[in-house]
């Protein structure tokens, strides 16, 4: 995809915000615990390699990604820290995984058995056994299955390094803790059949690390909170200050006076009730700004300006309080004057979560990095 460097729409990522959020989290951990930065999905839309650099500078000792290609990108960029792929990688890539010293999630003994057939020579695959305690996504289903896999690993310790074991909580970001407690007990039942704990035992994502003291682990997977976003939206209050790392801004590229009775955008879903000043902003749903945000607002000169008519693929229109010059700054996520629009504000207006909004901003929007060098 072409990057839109010749239009005023830009995402700005603040390196100091990410460093602060990581350092603040590490300060809360036990001395024997580590933090792996979750930088999948191009660093939640912030830029994977930049975020990895900031996180490492702040004390992160490893990284988590979702797919093998993301791990390979980090290795190609020169990162030598441990990298864990949280999704299932096909066994046929076992040799590549071993060669690149990448760790992978494994959820079945069948995966281990098949992976061996692709290994050559004295190579070792680093594995983290995934336990399905209630997420229902990947992982061993019962302690019995886990016990059998552990026996398999013991018998094939020349091919596999049992480096980690983990689970993932489904409701750690909610007030009701019954299901969380159920998953925690299931995790402990699993761990009862593990004779020797591996180097990494990890159950805590951002939400777990923020709101649950009991983790039973020595490593956390720090994701959305690293970017300054609340994992629960508005449901729970983050117990310490986190700084949003991303802002999204554009500018007015066309301004006109729309006569009373004229309509705006596809479907003619908005009609001016009086003569109005209308501005056009060069960003749309092809950039990840949701089509459904008609009726939401942006900030211009510290004032909320309503989005009128449907958001188009590449542009949308706003009602202005007065005539404004072309080139006037438009804030879609961030601050203007004394007002602000957060990622949660955008997400709620779109009927989704802040994760999806941040991850959804396309590569067509250029990323600009400030405070890129550690001070």
What is the Cα–Cα distance from 337 to 177, expressed in whole angstroms? 39
Return d(Cα 37, Cα 98) in angstroms, integer.
21
Strands 200-202 and 160-166: parallel
Residue 266: active-site member: yes
What are the CA-CA distances from residue 271 to residues 50, 253, 264, 285, 295 (Å)?
44, 21, 6, 22, 13
**Residues 115, 129: Cα–Cα separation, whole Å:** 14
Q: Which helix (H) or strand (E) holds 41?
A: helix 40-44
Q: From residue 339, how far is each of 134, 149, 304, 306, 334 by CA, in Å?
A: 41, 55, 8, 14, 9
Q: Is 66 helix (H, G, I), strand (E, B) or coil?
A: coil
**Distance between CA atoms of residues 170 and 208, nearest Å:** 10
Q: Which residues touch 351 (CB under 8 Å, ≥6 apart)?
A: 292
Q: Which of 40, 44, 227, 355 is catalytic?
A: 40
How large is the C-alpha radius of gyration of the chain? 24
Give the length of the chain.
375
Q: Which residues contact 76 (CB under 8 A, 6 or more apart)?
A: none
Report the alpha-carbon angle 29-30-34, nearest 5.
Answer: 65
Phi, psi of 31 (to 5 degrees): -60, -25
Angle of the 15-28 helix axis to the 48-57 helix axis, nearest 10: 50
Residue from 93, 200, 249, 266 carrying the catalytic annotation: 266
Residue 140 pairs with which residues in a beta bridge? 131
323 is catalytic: no
25 Cα distance to chain centroid:
16
- What letter would DSSP give residue 225? G
Active site residues: 40, 266
């Amino acid at each position: 995809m072409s990057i839109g460097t010749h239009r005023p729409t830009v995402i700005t990522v603040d390196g100091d915000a990410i460093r602060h959020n990581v350092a603040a989290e590490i300060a809360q951990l036990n001395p024997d615990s580590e933090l792996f930065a979750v930088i999948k999905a191009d660093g939640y839309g912030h830029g994977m390699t930049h975020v990895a650099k900031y996180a490492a500078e702040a004390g992160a000792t490893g990284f988590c990604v979702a797919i093998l290609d993301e791990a390979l990108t980090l290795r190609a960029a020169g990162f030598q820290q441990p990298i864990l792929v949280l999704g299932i990688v096909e066994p046929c890539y076992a040799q590549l995984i071993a060669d690149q010293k990448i760790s992978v999630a494994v959820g079945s003994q069948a995966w281990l058995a098949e992976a061996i057939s692709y290994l050559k020579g004295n190579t070792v695959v680093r594995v983290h056994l995934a336990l399905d305690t209630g997420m229902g996504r990947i992982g061993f289903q019962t302690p019995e299955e886990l016990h059998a896999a552990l026996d398999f690993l013991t018998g094939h310790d020349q091919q596999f390094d049992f480096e980690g074991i983990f689970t993932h909580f489904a409701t750690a970001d909610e007030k009701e803790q019954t299901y969380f407690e159920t998953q925690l007990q299931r995790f402990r039942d699993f761990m009862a059949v593990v004779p020797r704990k591996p180097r990494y035992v990890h159950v805590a994502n951002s939400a777990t690390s923020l709101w649950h003291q009991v983790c039973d682990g020595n490593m956390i997977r720090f994701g959305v909170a690293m970017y300054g976003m609340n994992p629960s939206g508005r449901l729970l209050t983050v117990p310490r200050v986190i700084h949003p790392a991303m802002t999204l801004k554009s500018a007015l590229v066309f301004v006109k006076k729309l006569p009373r009775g004229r309509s705006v955008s596809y479907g003619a879903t908005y009609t001016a009730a009086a003569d109005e000043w209308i501005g056009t902003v060069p960003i749309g749903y092809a950039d990840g700004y949701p089509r459904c945000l008609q009726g939401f607002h942006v900030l211009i000169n510290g004032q909320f300006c309503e989005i009128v008519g449907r958001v188009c693929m590449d542009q949308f229109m706003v009602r202005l309080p007065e005539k404004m010059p072309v080139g006037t700054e438009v804030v879609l996520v961030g601050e203007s004057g004394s007002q602000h629009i957060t990622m949660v504000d955008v997400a709620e207006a779109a009927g989704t979560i802040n994760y999806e909004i941040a991850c959804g901003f396309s590569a067509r929007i250029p990323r600009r990095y400030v405070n890129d060098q550690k001070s």
